[in-house]
């Protein structure tokens, strides 16, 4: 298990998220660049858990979203 402190200002909304209260994810690109691991969280629960995935896994997810979104 990875425990990481990621400052609140580091989180940005995904370009795939919409402002309708539905599908909203955020990620921390600066952390991803520095570590090669991509933290992802639900913007509706910013104090909840974050999932941290490898850069390859994130790339696969984004590719899937592009083709199925």
Instruction: Centre a 10 Å sphere on the Cβ of residue 29 and count the other Cβ atoms it contains.
Output: 12
What tens-digit pLDDT sequence spans the chain (69 residues)?
A: 667 789 999 999 877 666 665 668 899 999 999 999 999 999 888 888 999 999 999 999 889 988 986
Per-residue pLDDT at 51: 92
Domain ranges of the chain: 8-68
Per-residue pLDDT at 8: 92
Which tokens sit at 21?
Answer: 């209260």
Please name the residues in contact with 51: beta carbons below 8 A apart, sequence gap of 6 or more: 39, 40, 41
Per-residue pLDDT at 1: 63
């Amino acid at each position: 298990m990875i425990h990481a402190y990621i400052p609140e200002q580091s989180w940005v909304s995904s370009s795939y998220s919409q402002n309708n209260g539905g599908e909203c994810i955020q990620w921390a690109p600066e952390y991803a660049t520095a570590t090669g691991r991509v933290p992802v969280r639900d913007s509706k629960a910013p104090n909840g858990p974050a999932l941290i995935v490898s850069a390859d896994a994130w790339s696969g997810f984004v590719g899937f979203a592009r083709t199925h979104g």
